Amino acid sequence: MNTFNQPIAGAWDLTIPVRKQEYLAIGLAVINSLTNLISLIFIALIARDIHEPKFGMAMANLDAIAVAISLFTRIWSFRVSHLAAYRLENILRTALTAHLATVSLGYTQTLGAGTIKKIVQDDVRALHGFVADSVPLFGRAYTTPIATLPLLFIVDWRMALASIATLPIGLGAMSLAMKDYAQKREEYDRANENINSTVIEFVQGMQVVRTFDNGTSSFDRYQQSLDLFTQKLRDWTEATIASGRVGTLLFKSLPGLIIVLGVGIYLTIQGTLEIPILVLFLLLSANLNTSLEPIMLLNSFISEARASALRIGSIFAEPALAQPTDPQMPQDSSIAFKDVSFSYDPDRQILQNIDLDLAAGTVTAIVGLSGAGKTTLLRLIPRFWDVSSGSIEIGGVDLRQMTTDTLMSWISFVFQDTFLVNDSIRANICLGKPDATTAEIEAAAQSACAHDFILNLADGYNTIVGERGTRLSGGERQRITISRAILQNNPIVILDEATAFADPENELLIQQAIAALTQGKTLVVVAHRLATIQNADRIVVLDRGKVVEQGNHSELIASAGLYFRLWNTAQTARNWQLSARSRMLT
């Protein structure tokens, strides 16, 4: 469940779960800064009383205690902040993935894999860095100037002015370097997302890439993304490098020390400044300058963390699919589409005014030309998207009146593109039923004609399938997903042409597995091979998002409409052969 319910305006809004640890880290950093300042004052006092050993030794002991406390609190400040950062990282990634599982599938597809990866990995990591490193800096960077500056002016206003002489120029240079930081950071992040998406596309489509262009076109796209990223980084660097270097240099201790030492020597020669006071200013001015440098670093951290927080917040702001306040249970496995229309965006209607009544226990095939809306129609049933208008009912209950858990307990979905996680075959089969016994898993695999090939693998059911199941053949992967659906034993089965890319041997095995899966179930299937759905109770023909025909095979052939033309085209395709081979055979 999304625990970040309030609008996200910046990084601090996302760190609420570790707020106590942040306060503790800041408190320890404040103590660190104060005791560090005290230890420097003690050094000046020791220099003043160096000819009084008894008093000097007492100061030395106090100084040692202050140094020990400063060191201890510095170590523990960063320890607390880093532990909090790791905890926040875990909380955010868990919350993000959990929330993404509840939003519309269309939203995640619109974001794209590259953007999601960047947000869940890189942006969360940026928040980790913010908490781990920036939080202690808040206490240290602001405490030291606030405590030091009044002290310097109280002791000697002339030397105080000398101590801060480099600061106005340094602040101006750093402000110039940080100009338009948010815009430049956004451009940089967009270019980085583009690289992520291109790399993911290149890797996932490696087989196709190698087959058709040996990687040339895809590599060119990657190179273009990389060139854009490099150009953005170069422009950003060129715009900030000079002022940034000047500002950074002036916040180092050496420039300030040179000025303080020069002014101090002059005033000492004039007899208006004592040596111990000069020592004090040398120590405190160096400490002051080095404490101000992290403030500039903090601005960078905060801007980066804010940009990351806003992207993370945009995901949390996406509403989850609405859950009913009074959930209902379907009475049976019938499915009804009532004047359903759907579009991914307002400019393009995908489905228009669909009316269908699919009785429980029947087989319905959805056919049509490519782009007719077949797969979209199927994916509205498990509510991957909400309909734009109208309603879909299961057992007389609107999908929106069922909880997601209830809906998923009624539907099994076998996709055309199989999905396996990089885990064991056993884990993949029981993905939808984690508490399944070994006997249940093996029985499901036997029904799906998968048991024999699994046993022939070196590790049997404990075999790791590889990323996206790449260690198995396409037919084997499909039978694993069917085993998963059989194990769920849900009343409704939706098939997005599970045999579209199977070879004849695997197609037969998959069809046998599907027969076992759909026994006594309500089956809705998208069919590309019309010969496989001749015996369906009903065939629904879609064209440009509308139902143009429906009936059984014989009725549709007799009506000589779109289905009849599709059937004739399919028969012609079945009898097609390479003309050159035809000549060779004659």
pLDDT tens-digit readout, 271-305: 888 888 888 888 888 888 777 777 767 777 787 88
Res 501: pLDDT = 44
Neighbours of 7 (CB within 10 A): 9
In what helix (H) or strand (E) does residue 48 lie, and over which residues does it extend?
helix 19-48
Amino acid occupying residue 239: A
Res 575: pLDDT = 63
In a domain, 319, yes or no: no
Task: Answer whether 479's CB lies under 8 Å from 450's CB.
Answer: yes
Which of 28, 113, 116, 112 has the alpha carbon at shortest distance from 69?
Answer: 28
pTM: predicted TM-score of the whole model, two decimal places? 0.67
In a domain, 524, yes or no: yes
In a domain, 175, yes or no: no
Res 181: pLDDT = 59
Number of H helices, E strands in the chain: 24, 10
In a domain, 533, yes or no: yes
CATH code where residue 537 lies:
3.40.50.300
In a domain, 119, yes or no: no
Q: How many angstroms separate the CA atoms of 56 and 42, rounded?
A: 9
pLDDT beneath 70: ranges in the chain:
1-3, 5, 49-56, 169-189, 193, 195-222, 232-233, 235-254, 256, 296, 497-518, 573-586
CA-CA-CA-CA dihedral for 73, 77, 78, 80, to nearest 10: 130
Q: How many angstroms separate the CA atoms of 442 and 424, rounded?
A: 14
What backbone phi and psi angles, to 5 degrees, belong to 133? -110, -35
Question: pLDDT (tens digit, 9 = 90+) per residue, 16-52?
Answer: 899 999 999 999 999 998 998 888 888 888 877 666 6
Q: Report long-range pairs for 345-352 (Cβ below 8 Å, ≥24 apart).
A: 349/545, 350/376, 350/545, 351/376, 351/377, 351/380, 351/545, 351/546, 352/545, 352/546
Coil, strand or helix at 438? helix
In a domain, 536, yes or no: yes
Find the domain containing 451 and state its range.
Answer: 343-371+406-585
Task: Answer whether 342's CB lies under 8 Å from 386's CB.
Answer: no
> Which pair of structure tokens corresponds to residue 454?
């699994």
Task: Answer whether 100's CB lies under 8 Å from 66's CB.
Answer: no
Strands (E), 317-362: 335-345, 348-358
In a domain, 517, yes or no: yes
What are the DSSP calls for 146-188, one per residue? Answer: HHHHHHHHHH-HHHHHHHTTTHHHHHHHHHHHTTTHHHHHHHH
In a domain, 504, yes or no: yes
Q: How many domains does the chain have?
A: 1
Question: pLDDT (tens digit, 9 = 90+) per residue, 365-415?
Answer: 899 888 888 888 988 998 888 898 999 999 999 999 998 888 888 988 887
Res 336: pLDDT = 95
Distance of CA 517 to the CA centre of its chain: 34
